[in-house]
Amino acid sequence: MAGMKKKKALIEKELLFDALLSAFGVAMVALLYKNNLLLTLIILAGWITAIKLWHVKHDICLFVTAAFLGTAAEIVAIRFGAWQYSNPTLLGIPAWLPLLWGIAVVFINRVVNAIVKF
C-alpha cells in the first residue's frame, strides 16, 4: 500500500512538472512570437535540455515524426487559406513551429503515459 502511494505521488509530481513546462511553453510563444530567432533558440535549448535529462527511447522518433508531419499539415492548410501566422519566416510558418510540433507530441505522449499509470 505504501508503495502504491509513493507511485501515485511520483506520477502526480510528474504531471505537475509537465503542466508547468507546458504553461511556460505557451507563455514563451505568446510573449515572443514576434522574435522568431529568440523563440526558436529558447525552444531548441529547452528540447536539448529535456532530451538530455528526461527522454525515453522513442521520444526522438516521436519528435521528428511530429515535427515533419505537423509542419507539413500546417503548410498545406496555410496554402489553402485556412489560417496564417503573423510572423512567418518560410513557407508561411515561423521557424520555431516544427520544434513546437515535435515537443507538443512528445509532451502529450508523456502526459498520456502518466495518466495511464495513474
According to the model, what pLDDT value does residue 95 have?
Answer: 96
What are the grid coordinates assigned to 100, written together?
Answer: 513546437
Residue 90: strand pairing partners: 93
According to the model, what pLDDT value does residue 1 have?
Answer: 64
Report if pTM > 0.75: yes
Question: Quick one: how far is CA 104 from the chain centroid?
Answer: 3
- Distance, in Å, from the CA atom of 44 to the CA atom of 32, rounded to the nearest integer, reads 14
State the average pLDDT for the chain.
91
Residues of the chain with pLDDT under 70: 1
